[in-house]
Amino acid sequence: MFKAKHSITLLFNANKVYDRQVIEGIGHYLQSSKVDWDLYLEEDFLCRLEQIRDWSGHGIIADFDDVDIQQALQDSEKPVVGVGGSYANPADYPAVPYVATDNLALVRAAYEHLKQKGLERFAFYSLPFDEHHRWAREREKAILELVAQDGYDCQIYQGHCTRPETWHYAMNRLTDWIQSLPKPIGIIAVTDSRARHLLQACDHIGLVVPDNVAIIGIDDDDIARFLSRISLSSVTQGCFEMGYQAAKLLHRQLSDSRSGNKQILIPPAGVAARQSTDFKALKDPHVIQAMHYIRQHATRGIKVEQVTDYVGISRSNLEQRFRAERGHSIHTELHNQKLGRACKMLLDTQVSPADIASVCGYPSLQYMYAVFKRHFEQTPTEYRHQHQSSGTSQVVNF
């Protein structure tokens, strides 16, 4: 009968994107190192925390952002590796080997991204104080430290919990806060979920994203990204690497109990730049209106006339203003928006070119093929194969 050398329990919530990516990293270490482990992952483990000391396995990798888990594993006789957020104060780290997402580096990546867009006003949308959200407090500390170094101010709004019974109240208070901020401004949200609140609030009160308010989240969560009309920029955490390093630390502990309480900080994997931070410091309110309409409707096959009708001034007037601000015509902007969307879908999805042509507002697949041939001297299929095989993530820059 098969019996693994070590039985390992993973205390994570597999319903969370962050936790799933950590688990994936642990699994990769399992495969690449060929350790003889039997992994145990239970969906309702929280109800069994009181009995965790009676568990007969050999080691534990756990989510230490969860205070209940951390407390349950305090003084555990079995090897434990914690995974969670970093702390500005070294004394706040748990007394176990620990792999942390670098909160300062996450916020710095978001902040530097907004600064590179030319923004000089900043705000931070956080979470209400809660011992289970200690990482949110660390991110608040990080942004205050970073803006102070550059001589800027930053308004922090913790907001309200968004339970069904408080949703409308919370969103109304959020819109009040956004309206009180100077514009244009860049707002960093503590998570992608909170960033989506910002996008909804701006849409509700008619604030143009990103021209009035540029928004960036943290997590690069597909769910938050696809539930908004404006695609969300976000900092990608190094969760996979965190899981891999946590498994490596536990392996070391199992091999040598004297290995010590090492702490490893994992930097972000990068910034996924999308529409919500595509800020170009536009000054003309008519051009801002036009860009807002184009971003929302270009892939529906709209024409220049529809843009001018929306803005409410003559075509010649808007064209003159548009060229002065953007450096090209409205027609070119419509073309760029559709082509950019098509390129991204070819790189990030397996959707057929015919369906992409339809989604991106091209009248036919043949028309999209002609555009790609003229722009890249490639067919859409050739473009997909070349850039997917080379690992290029951002090819088109307009």
Give the tokens for residue 284.
Answer: 């003309």
Q: Report the C-alpha gap between 161 and 164 in whole angstroms.
A: 9
How confident is the model over 5-57, as pLDDT tens digits? Answer: 899 999 998 888 889 999 999 999 999 998 889 998 877 666 666 777 767 78
pLDDT at 87: 96
Q: Which residues contact 38 (CB under 8 A, 6 or more apart)?
A: 4, 6, 7, 8
Please determine, for residue 281, whether its predicted confidence score (pLDDT) is greater than 90: no
Digit-coded pLDDT (tens) for 340-377: 889 988 988 889 999 999 999 999 999 999 999 999 99
Q: Length of the chain, please?
A: 398
pLDDT over threshold 70, residue 391? no
Q: What is the mean pLDDT of the chain?
A: 89
Tens of pLDDT along 219-247? 998 776 667 778 899 999 999 999 999 99
Q: Which domains does the chain have, with CATH numbers?
A: 6-100+239-267 (3.40.50.2300), 103-237+273-277 (3.40.50.2300), 285-390 (1.10.10.60)
Q: Which residues contact 355 (CB under 8 A, 6 or more apart)?
A: none
- Burial of residue 150 (number of CB atoms within 10 Å: 0-12, 13-18, 19+): exposed
| Contact call for residues 14 and 31 (beta carbons, < 8 A) | no
Model confidence at 2: pLDDT above 60? no
pLDDT digits (tens, 9 = 90+) for 309-348: 999 999 999 999 999 988 899 999 999 999 988 998 898 8
Overall average pLDDT of the 262-270 stretch: 95
Q: Name every residue whose Cβ is closer than 8 Å to that of residue 262 and which is 6 or more positions away in sequence.
A: 97, 98, 249
- pTM of the predicted protein model: 0.76
Question: What single string gives the DSSP state of each residue in 357-375?
Answer: HHHTT-S-HHHHHHHHHHH
What is the pLDDT confidence band of residue 397, given thresholds at 50, 70 and 90?
very low
**Per-residue pLDDT, 394:** 44
